[in-house]
Structure formats: structure tokens, C-alpha cells
Structure 1
Amino acid sequence: LSVSNCIRSVGNIDKLFDMNELNGKGNAEKTSLPLDNVQAIQEEMDRHAVDMIMATSKLYMESLEVRTCRPNWRSYLQSSMITQEDFNFITAYETVKGEEKRAFLENNKLQCARTFVSLMSNISKDQTVRCVLTMIDDMIQEDRSRVEMFISYARKEKQSVWTPFLALLTRADGFVINQVSLIITKMACCGVDLMDGADLTYFLTWLKDRLRTPGNEYIHTTARCLQMLLRIEEYRFAFVNIDGISTILSTFAGRANFQLQYQLIFCIWCLTFSPDIAEKMHRLGVISTIAEVVSETSKEKVIRIALATLRNLLEKPEDASIARENAIQMVQCKITKTLDLLMSKTVDDQEFTEDMEFLADRLQSSVQDLSSFDEYLTEVKSGRLQWSPVHKSEKFWKENTQRFNEKNFEVLKILIKVLEVGNDPLILCVAAHDLGEYVRHYPRGKTVIEQLNGKTMVMRLLTHEDPNVRYHALLSVQKIMVHNWEYLGKQLEKENQENKQKLTAPNRSKPLEANTATETKM
């Protein structure tokens, strides 16, 4: 497929991203984005329009072949698999073109929806279902308002518009399930009513599972669906509620080429436009993942969308303390060094330059008033523990141990959770070490750790497969036990002192008896 053909084809896909749709115009149910956010997303879509068609290239190439096939509709009619009404419509539809097609559809809206729903629901042959879905997709691409035909038909029949489409997601054919996922996405983005409830949860969960499916040849199509859906705020919150962010982050590992990296970061970027969601990301490892991608890629479009995402994570949170934590995380992930390297190169794009300068200024100001505990707290919350200097600083532990009790032992709970669910040997070593240091420096540390189930979590690591993890777990357990022995030793010493005092005290009982005897004699 030549680049020129791609560019000619982009018009169809890019119809989904005009300003009216992004701003929710004509769609009273959708939450509109502020105009500056709309423009930002639109400009980003326009900038990489050709990449968008390439992102769905496998599906696109297969659809070219599907369009060359013509099902034998008469055989379906003769076998009573379709009605005469459906046969008449579909054979007529295949022959009309251009303005004639528009007029034909305008005059047969309900029949169009009825026939397409009937065909895709009642025919089992994959090749024919492929043809039907491709016709539906092409029809919607030509005019987004045609989504309303299916919605109106569903209302008339008192059925869910989503049911017949969602049912096809269980098919085995890769083209079928991915083509219908794109159709569902476009209907959810272009229709008057939002997809919601169980239907939305089911579809988003399906997309999430497809991201995690090993060997998914259509993974770019899956990411493409999410790129479209996550521009709508209600869909963002629904996706976050099914732990979608963690799935996106896990998809970066291993097989994410630069195009997929761009698409996934684009999804995160869309999510950051919702302040409530942006405020949750500092706990999920978003910043460290993006920082790793930026440090390893040379693709400008990936770096651009990554820096725009990081900027949103500083600007969008309404809680200033979270924005500050995000800045500290970026510093710890060496974003400042990456920015220095990028800014040393000649960049013609003003917007790109502004993002770099903004990040550099904000991160520099964050470094200036950064305390050692702030740095430590941010590292712990990021989940990316490493042997930074504070962990082995006696001065740090003496000065800050009391702060581990703040916010209902927040830091300790995070460390213990890391031991429970973590699998990175380095992170487990550091977490076990820090719990031991807390016990060593805080008089009631053993009691606190036991109440939080920390001792059990540390002792579980004594049988870990990694020798370093076993070593640091053993040291931590020893600190907990030594603390106990010291307490026990003090108790024994106290009891010994009391016994000695009893032995050396004057024996008053015998003189008292003697006096009593004397009194008797008298």
C-alpha cells in the first residue's frame, strides 16, 4: 500500500475527528471538552493522519480484499436464511453509488438498519459477515449521522442498539471481531446517546483483554479504538474503573513498537485531561513508564506526545501536592537529563519547544525545595524502589522515622503491599530493607509492623528464589527479632534488679514476731 494511497484513504478515517465531534456538538449527552483541549487533540490527530491509517493496516489491507467479494444473496434467499425484503434492499444497495446511494439510504433508513442487523445476526459464514461489516463501516465513514439509523431502529424494536454488534465480539474470525469493534467505537463516539452501563463495561473490558492477548495481530486496531473512545470523559472514567491504565502500562513491556508506543501514550494523554484521573496516575507507575520510553526512543512523535502527557500531569491535577509529587517523580526518573539532551538539539516546532521549556522550568523549581523525605515518599509511591542514597542514610532514618506514621502509616502500608504483590527482586530487596530500618529506629516499630501484617510478608521472602531477596529479608527479620530481644533483655534486667532489692532489704518479719512474743510475756 503506497503512501499516496494511504493519504487518499485518510479522509475516510479522519472524518471521525473534526472539531464538532470532538467538542460534542449536536450531542447533548456527551461531556464537552474545553476548547483548548479539543484543539490539542485535533491537532495531534491531524499531525499523524497517515499514521492512523497505518495503525490499522492489517485490518485495512484485509478490507480491500473483502470489498472485491460479492456474496450470493439469492442462495441465502432460496435457503430462507434472509427475507425477500432483506434481499431486495441489499441487492439494490450494492448497485447504487454516490448521490444515488445517499438518496437511497435517506429514503430507506429503517430498512437499512433492519437488513444489516438481520444479515450479521443470522448468517454464520465468516466471509459473508466480513462483507456485511465492511459495508456498514464504509457507510458510517461516508456519513457519521448514519449511526442514527441503527439507534432509531433499535428504539422502534425496543432493543439495545449494541446487542447485535457486541454479540459478534465472541466470533473466532480476527477480521470480524476487530471490524465490529471499530464499528461499535464509531457508534459510541458519533451517536447522540452514550454507550453506558453493562454494555460499556463489557466492551471496554473486551478491548482491555485484547491489549493483553499474546500475538494479537490487530493490536493497533484495539489501541485505535481506545484512542477514539478516551476522548470522551465518561468513557475515560469507565476505563479507569476497570483498571485500564495498568493494562496500558503492561502493554509497553516487550512488544510495543514505536507506533504502538505512540498510540498507548496518546490514550494516557487523553486520560490526563480529566483532573480526577490525572491525580491518580502518580500511584500507577505512569511517569516512570513514559520516562523509560522517552529515554529509549528517537521518534519525535512519540517524544512529543510523551512530553505533552507529562505536562498535563503537572498542570491538570487540582491538588497542588499531587502535582508536586509528579514533578519529583519526573526528577527521579531523570526526565531533566532527557530534557537537557533534547533541548541541545535544533527543534523547529514551537509547541514542542514550549513543552520542553515548561517541563524544564517546573522540574528545576521542584528540585530546589526538595527534602530527603519528599524524595523518598515520591519514590515509594511510584513503586519503582531503588538503592537511592536515602535508603542507607543513618541520618535520614534518625530524622524521618516518625514521619512513617503519618497519614495512618501510609508509607508502611505501601511498602508492605509491595512485598505482597511485587515480583521485581530489586524492589523487594529495598522494601524489606526499609521495613527493617523502620523497626530499628522506631521504639514501637515491631508492634506497628506486626499489626500491619508486615512481619508475615517479610518472612515469606525468606524462601524467595532470588538470593538477594532472601538475604535482605533475613536482615529485616533479624532487625525485628533483635528489637524484640532488646526489649526482653530490658525486662529481664528489670526483674533481676527487683529480685536483688528484695534480697538486700531488711528482714522485718522476724523482729516483728519477736516483739509480739515479748509483748505476750509481759
Structure 2
Amino acid sequence: MPDSKINSMLMKLPDETGKGDVMAATSVLQQRANEIRNNSINWQSYLQSQMIGDDDYRFITEFLSSDGGKRDSLLQDQRTQCAKTFLSLLEHISKDQTVQYILTIMDDMLQEDMNRVEIIREYAKKKRENVWSPFLNLLNRPDSFIQNMTSRIIAKLACWSRDPMEGSDLTFYLTWLKDQLQTPGNEYVQTTARCLQMMLRDEKYRLVFAGMEGVSVLANILSGRINFQIQYQLSFCLWVMTFSPQLVEQMNKHKIIPILGDILNDSVKDKVTRIILAVFRNMIEKPEDAAMVKENCVAMVQAKVLKQLSILQQHKFDDEDIMADIEFLTEKLQASIQDLSSFDEYSTEIKSGRLEWSPVHKSERFWRENVARLTEKNYELLKMLVHLLETSRDTLVLAVASYDIGEFVRHYPRGKSIIEQLGGKQMVMQLLAHEDPNVRYEALLAVQKLMVHNWFVKIKKAIILKSIEKPFKLS
């Protein structure tokens, strides 16, 4: 499918941000908005104090007293006045309660008809003003409701307007969303995720977001303890990002497959299951690089996805897409197992960072046949092992990585010097003092192999020299 058609399809997806949506109705922002809509603002007092002009007073009072067809006619006849009034009110009124009300009714206006975003865009263009500045400034207000309702409006303008958000404005907004996702105790995080869901449907926006370590942020949050709704929303963000094949490689870098595999194994919500299966399907279908597709399949097998698929096949889902994705993934993963070499399995396990005592680690044949491959791509896998020794807090990972370091040294002629150059010897030595007895044991064995290898090399050299001076005689 051409990129333009994919983008068009994604932009038409329901954003689930409307007042009629179940999740929107229960979000903190919408609960608060329902209260704010019932507030009564004394516009007459603002007029008398000359904080607003006569034309703004007339428009806002007429707008609030109209609905349905009458409101449509008003906005058609007074498009310029509409934009002027809303922007003027936001500029000249500072009281939080009133600003909250203005933003809420403005958001409602845009939600009723997405084409109304052009009212704001056309006015800014006519006045030669930056359409984003008034709203981006409001993101700096201390009131959280004002920030997040403004964010909703920005997302609508950015996604529904003819002119996309660009440059420093786009960077500022996406950075703000990213920071809000990571803010501890953010009660409006669901709204932040909704805005990101909207933005990432557009390829221009998702490429910029990915360029600012957005995938890493999503991975870190999904790795933590979050509720199923945020799991769904952030997995949705990853799903739309998989429509840009170049971003799939970033997802591999940040271990998205094992992270989503864990969520899938524990999921009790069909919507979470459905979106994760859709992510996995795209990670197999979208990349053009066959090696990457194979790597993704192996990663899914190691993340116990195939086992979970067999469980899901026993369920009865009303959603045909879920069943289709289950069948597709089962077929592809089973096929990948048939072609899977022991080194493919080992390589994918190292890259996942989730080491366990799988059979390859203690297979003499594996090490004899594959030890040299650990030096490929400028020692890529060895560097990953050393990195795990340095950064992992998982005792199983540390134990297995220590063992593998020792086996590499034992089987590869220059193993000791390579491991020393990569800093592996120092890492293993430090683990001799680890609190976990299994880690200490495997680290000790690895150190012994390093020392034995050193003596073995010296003895081998001595034998060779002696044989040159006086060849052995067979009796």
C-alpha cells in the first residue's frame, strides 16, 4: 500500500477523544470539563471593565446561546469574528476559571466539526500571525487543566488543519507531550497519551517524535507498572509508528518485542491484546529487510509469543481482526522456528537482554562451531554481553553472561585479550563480590577460565618451541 494511502487511513481512525467515548467520559480531564461547562461566566463584567470589546462580547454571548444549525450558521457568517474573539479572550483574560471555560467550549466547537480548525488557521494566516503561539504559551500555565485542554486543541489543529505543524513549534509541543508522559503522578496522563495517539498518525510527526528518543520513552513507560488503558494507548502509538518501516529498527533497539510480549502474556483486556498483535504483525509485514523480519520473528518466539498465541486460539473473539492476526503470527512464527539455527537463537537472546539457561549456553558443540561468530560486526555480541554485565540488575542475566564470557575465552584463541580490551575481565572481577551466590559462582568460573587460558597459551608456546628444538619421537 502506498505511503500516502497508509497515512490517509491512519488519519481517519477514530481518536476516541469525543464526549461520547466511554474512556473520554471517564478521564480526569472530561470529568473536570463537565463541571466547567456548568459554570456561569459574567461576560458583562468583562465588558464593563473594558477587558473585552463590544464585538467580542456580542459574539461570545450569541455563540453560547446558540446550538445545532443556528451555531453552524453563526460560524459560517462570522468566521473571522469567531477566531478573533476566542484568541482575544485567551490573550486578555488571566483568571484560571474563565480560561478553563474558554478552552473547554473552544474544544467542544472543534470536536463538533473538525473542519472548524480552518477558522483559526485562516484568521492567523490573514493576520500574518503564528497560529501556534497563543496555545503553546498556555502550556506554560501552572494550571494542569488549562495545559491539557490546550494540548487537546493543539493536537486537533495539528492533525485536522491543512497546514501542518512544523519546526520549533512541533518540537516544543512533542517535547512537552514526552515530558508529560514521564511526569510522576500526572493525573492527566490519559489525555497526554490521547494527544500523542492523534499526532503519531501523521508520518511527519512520528518521524520527528522518533528522532527525539520517543520510542525509548514509550518503552520505558510500558516496562513499568501502568494501567491497561495507558498500555493500550501507548501500544497504539507504537502500532502507528510501525507503518514507517525505518522506525521498526528503533523498536528493536529499545526491546519493544519482549516488553509487549510481557504485557500480552498478562493481558486480560481484548483491546490491549488486539493492538499488541497488530504491532507484532506490522513488525513482520512492514520491514523490507528479510534479516530484520527474521530477527523479529525469533524475538517473538523468545518472548513466549507463540505460546500465548496457542492460548489465545482457544478463546472466542468477536473481533475478526484478532483472529486473523493470531493465525498470521502463528504461521509466521512456526515457519521461523523451522529455519532457526542455534546461533540465530543465541544472537536474538543476547540482543533482547533477557538471558536464561537455554540449551545453547552449555552446548559444547555450539561453542565449537560458533565461537568465532561472536567476533563478527566488530564484536557486536561480545560488547552486548559486557554491557549486560555492567548494567543489568537481574541475577540470572549476570550469571549467564559471566558463563558465556568464560566459554568464549575457553574456545577462542585470542579470547582473553579480546575480553580484556572490551572491559569484560574487569566487569567479571567486580561480580566476584556480588551478593548473589550464583552470580559469584559463575563469575569465579569465568575468572578461572581467563587464568587457565593464560597458562594454556604459555604451555602451548613452550611445547611448540621444544618440539622445534627436539622433535618428539614415537616409541
TM-score of the aligned structures, taking structure 2 as reference length: 0.89
Secondary structure of the 1:32 match is: helix
- Report 1:33-112 matches (<5 A): 33-34=5-6, 38=9, 42=13, 50-54=21-25, 57-112=27-82
Aligned to 1:352: 322
- Report 1:109-128 matches (<5 A): 109-128=79-98
Aligned to 2:242: 272
Aligned to 1:396: 366
Paired residue for 1:152, among 103, 107, 122?
122
Bigger CA drift: 481-490 or 423-432? 481-490
Aligned to 1:258: 228
Aligned to 1:519: none
Q: CA deviation at 1:150?
A: 2.0
2:383–2:422 CA contact under 8 A, matched in 1: yes
Paired residue for 1:188, among 152, 158, 171?
158
Taking the aligned partners of 1:474 and 1:115, their CA distance within structure 2 comes to 74
* Residue identity in the other structure for 1:64: N
1:327–1:363 CA contact under 8 A, matched in 2: yes
Paired residue for 1:372, among 335, 342, 345?
342
1:147–1:191 CA contact under 8 A, matched in 2: yes
* Structure 2 spans left out of the alignment, 5+ residues: 471-475
Relative to 1, partners in 2 of residues 1:466 and 1:361: Cα closer, same or farther, differing over 3 Å?
same
2:287–2:293 CA contact under 8 A, matched in 1: yes
Relative to 1, partners in 2 of residues 1:368 and 1:91: Cα closer, same or farther, differing over 3 Å?
same
Secondary structure of the 1:346 match is: coil
Post-superposition CA distance 1:313-343 (Å, at most 9, x none):
1111111111111111111122121111121
Relative to 1, partners in 2 of residues 1:221 and 1:277: Cα closer, same or farther, differing over 3 Å?
same
RMSD (CA atoms): 3.0
Aligned to 2:141: 171
Work out whether 1:424 is the aligned partner of 2:382: no
Post-superposition CA distance 1:273-325 (Å, at most 9, x none):
11111233223221112211121122222212221221111111111111111
2:11–2:201 CA contact under 8 A, matched in 1: no
Paired residue for 2:201, among 231, 238, 255?
231
Relative to 1, partners in 2 of residues 1:44 and 1:143: Cα closer, same or farther, differing over 3 Å?
closer
Taking the aligned partners of 1:469 and 1:80, their CA distance within structure 2 comes to 74
Post-superposition CA distance 1:254-274 (Å, at most 9, x none):
442222222222111111111
Taking the aligned partners of 2:4 and 2:89, their CA distance within structure 1 comes to 35
Taking the aligned partners of 1:321 and 1:41, their CA distance within structure 2 comes to 32
Aligned to 2:423: 453
Paired residue for 1:315, among 285, 296, 310?
285
1:58–1:218 CA contact under 8 A, matched in 2: yes
Q: CA deviation at 1:415?
A: 2.1
Q: CA deviation at 1:349?
A: 3.8
Q: CA deviation at 1:426?
A: 2.7
Relative to 1, partners in 2 of residues 1:133 and 1:484: Cα closer, same or farther, differing over 3 Å?
same
Relative to 1, partners in 2 of residues 1:482 and 1:139: Cα closer, same or farther, differing over 3 Å?
same
* Structure 1 spans left out of the alignment, 5+ residues: 1-22, 25-30, 502-522
2:10–2:201 CA contact under 8 A, matched in 1: no
| Paired residue total | 467
2:6–2:243 CA contact under 8 A, matched in 1: no
* Residue identity in the other structure for 2:5: L
- Report 1:492-507 matches (<5 A): none
TM-score of the aligned structures, taking structure 1 as reference length: 0.81
Taking the aligned partners of 2:120 and 2:251, their CA distance within structure 1 comes to 37
Secondary structure of the 1:252 match is: helix
Work out whether 1:411 is the aligned partner of 2:381: yes
* Residue identity in the other structure for 1:192: R
* Residue identity in the other structure for 1:32: S
Q: CA deviation at 1:186?
A: 0.9
* Residue identity in the other structure for 2:133: T
Work out whether 1:32 is the aligned partner of 2:4: yes
